[in-house]
Structure 1
Amino acid sequence: MSKRIDRSWVVFASVENDEHDRCVDIFSRPDKSFGYEEFRRDVEDGGAWTPTEYYSGARYATAELAYAAAEKSVVWLAEVLRVSPKLRRIPPSH
């Protein structure tokens, strides 16, 4: 888990690009807000996921709004979700 994702937050979707070197986590917080963060994975980092931006600071009222913001910010994400809509997960309590 990234240093930018607090342990109290629940990641309910993790979407990777086709090369498996980029990932977006969509999460919920205890205050019922939602957010997302983008990560990269490079060989020189030993395959660890490293945050690339500071998206996790933004708060959204719904998972759908977090997805919409992520798809606008992360260039490859919208296409991956279009091709594989089952990757668009919603938290169980939603």
Structure 2
Amino acid sequence: MSKRIDRSWVVFASVENDEHDRCVDIFSRPDKSFGYEEFRRDVEDGGAWTPTEYYSGARYDTAELAYAAAEKSVLWLRVNPKFRRMPISR
């Protein structure tokens, strides 16, 4: 998996948890593939968003497939019904 965030990726959906300390970004790449990444934000990091699991190396053919994979991988996204099957517009 990739351990960096590529600046050519375009984030078009970002889902933040209720505590505002975790988020999942869904993005597209120039090669027309899609991916996602989970981030955390901690006070000791100055509030900066930091990747947590490096899911961004996986490639998906559609935004919907990327979001479905995120739901399976990211516990807080999966267990909170308000985040399930969030519509993706791209």
TM-score by length of 1: 0.78
- Residue ranges of structure 2 left out of the alignment (5+ in a row): none
What SS class does the counterpart of residue 31 from structure 1 fall into?
coil
CA separation in 2, counterparts of 1:85 and 1:37?
A: 20
CA separation in 1, counterparts of 2:89 and 2:33?
A: 13
Post-superposition offset of 1:14: 0.9
- Residue ranges of structure 1 left out of the alignment (5+ in a row): none
Contact 1:12–1:91 at 8 Å: present in 2 too?
A: no
Q: How many equivalent residue pairs?
A: 90
- For residues 5-59 of structure 1, what are the alpha-carbon distances to aligned partners after superposition, in whole Å with 9 as ceiling and x for unaligned? 2111100011100000001000000110000000000000000001101100000
Question: What RMSD, in angstroms, separates the aligned Cα atoms of the two structures?
Answer: 3.8
Structure 1 residue aligned with 2:79: 83
Post-superposition offset of 1:4: 2.5
Contact 2:34–2:60 at 8 Å: present in 1 too?
A: yes
TM-score by length of 2: 0.82
| % identity of equivalent residues | 92
